[in-house]
């Protein structure tokens, strides 16, 4: 019976990989659409998010069924729990790609600021790479890589902070920017949140290998 | 997926003397699927599985009402020849029960009874059956050994091979692994899930995990009734009846 069970576990792994690729594609497109003011591409991201949600539901359903039918223990149990938790993080990343796309559609026509948009593109590029790396690390259960990726989240946080400050400064100087810059702040927050979800997935990779639930980047400071 | 019904049980009542053991059971068993019977002791699982190839005929004072159809034909009709029925519906029991004969003769027993005498033909059947039962590699070099001299897990696979040797349509298994250790159990489970490609399998088990792991459908028995029968995935994730839920999750009494 072990064989059929192993095949089911392998299938979960494959489905997770496919979902990860979809989410990364959504992130890639949402950043590209934002940088190029491409409303059509942004709409595409929103439409395609339905598929990501379906994939999450399918994964959750399959995990629940495996737990009920196979009564997994040890590494098998950790594998299933890891998929279940990490796919929820992936799904949220997809939702943030949708939010970025909605901002893209909204800001079109508002007054813009190239300096800030460049910073956003830069943060977007970084998050895109992290998104691809985390899926690779997950597939190989590479804990070393997982830690490295989580570490990169600090650079994202710093950039997001810079974007917020720059947006506020620009708004002070030019009230016409208020509409557009509000979305800049929102988008920087979405990207920052994606980084947090990627960190969560890193934590689940560590959990699979070690059996310990741990916090990688803590934000328990007052600023 | 379109499914063919292999066995249909309708309003089946069964008495041992004055005791009514089954109170009008309805059940459908589908072709090339594994159907598991679960439920507490004395609830009628073994009684029902025995009616499917008329093993209950051997029990004194046992009588039935209702119908059991195999491929749409009543197996309790006078026209049915018992030997023929049991050729089509084979059985494997809880305790491995090979005959005190050689491994070869155990497997060849059924085909011989059905008139096959030719040595090379019998050789072929023996090899094929042992292979199907996933035990050929372990016994091929000593087919003349007494079947009782090998391990319990191996004996059980010999019994499965013996049942397969007459090429049945249906295989009934009454707790086939309850006398075996976890490794032999896992081998039998692996084997059973392979066999469903060619056979319809009905299995009584006290091991709910076993039912959940390998069966396609599960029927839950209680006090001579079938409380619920459905897809195994449904029964084990969200059964319709509270009694099923209680039993499966271990809330008894």
**A149-159: pLDDT as tens digits:** 999 999 999 99
Where does residue B18 rank: exposed (0-12), middle (13-18), buried (19+ CB within 10 A)? exposed
Q: What angle do CA A184, A186, A188 make, to 5 degrees?
A: 70
What is the structure's pLDDT at A223? 63
Mean pLDDT computed over A214-223:
77
How many residue pairs from chains A and B have C-beta atoms closer than 8 A?
A: 27
Beta partners for B74?
B69
| Facing B209 at nearest CB: one of A3, A4, A71 | A71
Confidence of residue B253 (pLDDT cuts 50, 70, 90): low
Where does residue A20 rank: exposed (0-12), middle (13-18), buried (19+ CB within 10 A)? buried
pLDDT in tens, B137-196: 999 999 999 999 999 999 999 999 999 999 999 999 999 998 888 888 998 999 999 999
Which residue segment(s) compose the domain that A182 sits in?
A: 2-210
Distance from CA of A12 to the nearest CA of B (A): 17
> Is there a domain that residue A115 lies in?
yes
Element (H, E) at B37: strand B34-38
What is the structure's pLDDT at B179? 86
Please state, as a whole number, how many other Cβ atoms lie within 10 Å of the Cβ of residue B40: 13
Distance spanning both ends of chain B, measured CA to CA = 38
Residues in A closer than 8 angstroms to B183, CB to CB, are: none
Mean pLDDT computed over B47-60:
94
> Is there a domain that residue A40 lies in?
yes
| Facing B233 at nearest CB: one of A2, A65, A71 | A65
The answer, for B249 touching chain A at a CB cutoff of 8 Å, is no
Instruction: Say if CB A78 and CB A13 are below 8 A apart.
Output: no
If one counts the domains in chain A, the total is 1
Residues in B closer than 8 angstroms to A68, CB to CB, are: 212, 233, 236-237
Mean pLDDT computed over B243-250:
93
The answer, for A70 touching chain B at a CB cutoff of 8 Å, is yes
| Facing A68 at nearest CB: one of B189, B190, B237 | B237
Domain containing A104 — which CATH number? 1.20.58.220
Mean pLDDT of chain B: 94
Confidence of residue B214 (pLDDT cuts 50, 70, 90): very high
Lowest mean per-residue pLDDT among A83-92, A190-199, B69-78, B185-194: B185-194
Question: Does A69 sit within 8 Å of B236, measured CB to CB?
Answer: yes
What is the structure's pLDDT at A3? 80
Q: Fill in the DSSP letter of residue B33.
A: -
Where does residue A4 rank: exposed (0-12), middle (13-18), buried (19+ CB within 10 A)? middle
Q: How far apart are CA B136 and CA B157, in angstroms?
A: 10
- Site from A5, A7, A64, A69 to mutate, B interface, most B CB atoms within 10 angstroms: A69
Lowest mean per-residue pLDDT among A23-32, B15-24, B177-186: B177-186
Q: How far apart are CA B239 and CA B223, in angstroms?
A: 18
Q: Fill in the DSSP letter of residue B75.
A: T
> Is there a domain that residue A215 lies in?
no
> Is there a domain that residue A107 lies in?
yes
Distance from CA of B251 to the nearest CA of A (A): 16
The domain over range B5-249 is classified in CATH as 3.40.50.300:
yes
**A198 phi and psi angles, rounded to 5 deg:** -65, -40
Confidence of residue A1 (pLDDT cuts 50, 70, 90): low
| pTM given for the model | 0.83
Distance from CA of A65 to the nearest CA of B (A): 7
What is the structure's pLDDT at B92? 95
Spatial CA neighbour of A72 closest among A142, A143, A12: A12
Mean pLDDT computed over B226-251:
94
**B57 phi and psi angles, rounded to 5 deg:** -55, -30
> Is there a domain that residue A217 lies in?
no
The answer, for B33 touching chain A at a CB cutoff of 8 Å, is no
Distance from CA of A1 to the nearest CA of B (A): 4
Q: Is the pLDDT of residue A176 over 60?
A: yes
What are the start-end ranges of the H helices in A108-218? Answer: 114-139, 143-173, 178-210
B 182-221 near A (Cβ less than 8 A): 186, 189-190, 193, 209, 212-214
The answer, for A64 touching chain B at a CB cutoff of 8 Å, is yes
Output the six-digit token pair for B46. 């073994």
Confidence of residue B43 (pLDDT cuts 50, 70, 90): very high
The answer, for A73 touching chain B at a CB cutoff of 8 Å, is no
pLDDT in tens, A58-88: 999 999 999 999 999 999 999 999 999 999 9
Strands B170-174 and B200-204: parallel
Where does residue A221 rank: exposed (0-12), middle (13-18), buried (19+ CB within 10 A)? exposed
Question: Does B233 sit within 8 Å of A68, measured CB to CB?
Answer: yes
Element (H, E) at B35: strand B34-38
Output the six-digit token pair for A7. 């095949």
């Amino acid at each position: 019976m072990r064989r059929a069970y192993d095949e089911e576990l392998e299938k979960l792994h494959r489905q997770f990989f496919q979902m990860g690729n979809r989410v990364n594609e959504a992130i890639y497109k949402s950043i590209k659409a934002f940088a190029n003011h491409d409303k059509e591409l942004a709409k595409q991201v929103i439409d395609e998010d339905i598929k990501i949600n379906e994939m999450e539901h399918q994964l959750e359903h399959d995990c629940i069924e495996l737990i009920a039918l196979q009564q997994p223990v040890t590494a098998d149990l950790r594998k299933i729990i890891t998929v279940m938790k990490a796919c929820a993080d992936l799904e949220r990343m997809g939702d943030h790609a949708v939010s970025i796309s909605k901002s893209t559609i909204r800001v079109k026509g508002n007054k813009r600021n190239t300096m800030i948009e460049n910073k956003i593109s830069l943060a977007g590029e970084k998050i895109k790479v992290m998104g691809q790396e985390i899926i690779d690390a997950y597939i190989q259960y590479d804990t070393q890589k997982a830690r490295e990726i989580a570490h990169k989240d600090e650079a994202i946080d710093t950039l997001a902070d810079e974007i917020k400050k720059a947006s506020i400064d620009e708004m002070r100087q030019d009230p016409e920017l208020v509409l557009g810059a509000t979305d800049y702040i929102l988008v920087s927050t979405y990207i920052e949140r994606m980084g947090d979800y990627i960190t969560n997935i890193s934590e689940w990779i560590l959990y699979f290998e070690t059996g310990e639930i741990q916090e990688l980047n803590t934000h328990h400071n007052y600023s | 997926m379109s499914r063919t019904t292999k066995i249909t049980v309708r309003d089946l009542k069964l008495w041992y003397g004055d005791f009514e053991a089954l109170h009008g059971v309805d059940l459908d068993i589908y072709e090339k699927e594994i159907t598991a019977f679960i439920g507490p002791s004395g609830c009628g699982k073994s009684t029902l599985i025995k009616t499917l190839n008329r093993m209950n005929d051997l029990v004194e004072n046992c009588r039935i009402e209702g119908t059991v159809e195999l491929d749409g034909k009543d197996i309790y009709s006078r026209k049915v020849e018992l030997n023929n029925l049991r050729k089509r519906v084979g059985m494997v029991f809880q305790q491995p029960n090979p005959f005190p004969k050689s491994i070869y003769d155990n497997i060849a027993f059924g085909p011989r009874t059905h008139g096959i005498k030719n040595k090379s033909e019998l050789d072929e059947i023996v090899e094929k059956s042992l292979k199907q039962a996933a035990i050929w590699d372990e016994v091929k070099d000593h087919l003349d050994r007494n079947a009782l001299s090998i391990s319990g897990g191996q004996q059980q696979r010999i019994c499965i091979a013996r049942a397969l040797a007459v090429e049945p349509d249906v295989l009934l298994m009454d707790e086939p692994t309850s006398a075996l250790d976890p490794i032999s159990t896992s081998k039998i489970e692996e084997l059973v899930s392979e066999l469903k490609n060619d056979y319809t399998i009905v299995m009584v088990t006290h091991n709910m995990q076993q039912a959940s792991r390998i069966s396609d459908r599960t029927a839950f028995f209680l006090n001579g009734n079938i409380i619920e029968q459905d897809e195994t995935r449904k029964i084990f994730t969200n059964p319709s009846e509270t009694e099923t839920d209680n039993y499966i999750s271990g809330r008894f009494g």
